[in-house]
Amino acid sequence: MKVIITENQARKIFTRLLEDNHPKPDISGLTTPLANLGRLMNLGKNPENIFKSMTLDDLKAFAKRFDDTPSPTNTTSLSGNETIAKRMVNYFVKKGFSPQQAAGIAGNLYQESSFNPTIVGDNGTAFGLAQWRGSRLSELQKTIPNWKTIDGQLDFIWKELNSTEKRTLGFLKTTRTPEEAAVIFSKHYERPGVPHNEKRMGYAKNILAIYTD
């Protein structure tokens, strides 16, 4: 069974690695979770070997990637966007996704934009539901007439999933839970610098509950 490592679990892993303050921390017993963590962070083949080679200072620096994400207390509320969430899930279910897979996509979009199709992020470089940028944003503007709307942007996501992001489509089709779908969509479609996957999974789980209520 595939193990999903959340950011909160990652913090616990690093706490154990760093607690003895030894120059070369012992990672015995952590090989599997570290391997999964490394793969989620795109560290390449056999990522656990990267951790094995790290000194204490290296690990402290790496652990700082998680310091800006506090343990959530109420991070999965949709703040009155339940109707939009259902609309998005319905859109992707009609395209052939399971409700769980569709909720995983929608959970990512809420994390990225709070379902605001005209929101601008990352110092003006990212736009829309999925916070597209660069050539992907240009393609959205060029190929989707109503590119500033939710419907237009959902159409663009579907267009990408059947062309430039077809690999993501294949991975998504193998998922069975909203949490797994959320992590897959984050890793392969969104590709964020700091993923905050714990929040994406929480939103996806809540969205599925709203959809099936």
167 or 6, higher pLDDT: 167
Here the CATH number for the domain that contains residue 170 is 1.10.530.10
Helices (H) and strands (E) in the chain, counts: 11, 2
Q: Could you tell me the pTM of the whole model? A: 0.67
The pLDDT score that the predictor gives to residue 69 is 40
Mean confidence (pLDDT) of the chain: 82
The pLDDT score that the predictor gives to residue 9 is 62
Same domain, 62 and 92: no
Do the beta carbons of residue 156 and residue 140 sit within 8 Å? yes
213 — pLDDT class (breaks 50, 70, 90): confident
Same domain, 117 and 171: yes
Please compute the mean of the pLDDT values over residues 25-46 and round it to a whole number.
Answer: 62
What's the length of the chain? 213
Same domain, 57 and 108: no
Distances from the Cα of 6 to the Cαs of 54, 125, 132, 155, 164, in angstroms? 21, 27, 24, 30, 28
Its domain, for residue 47, covers 7-66
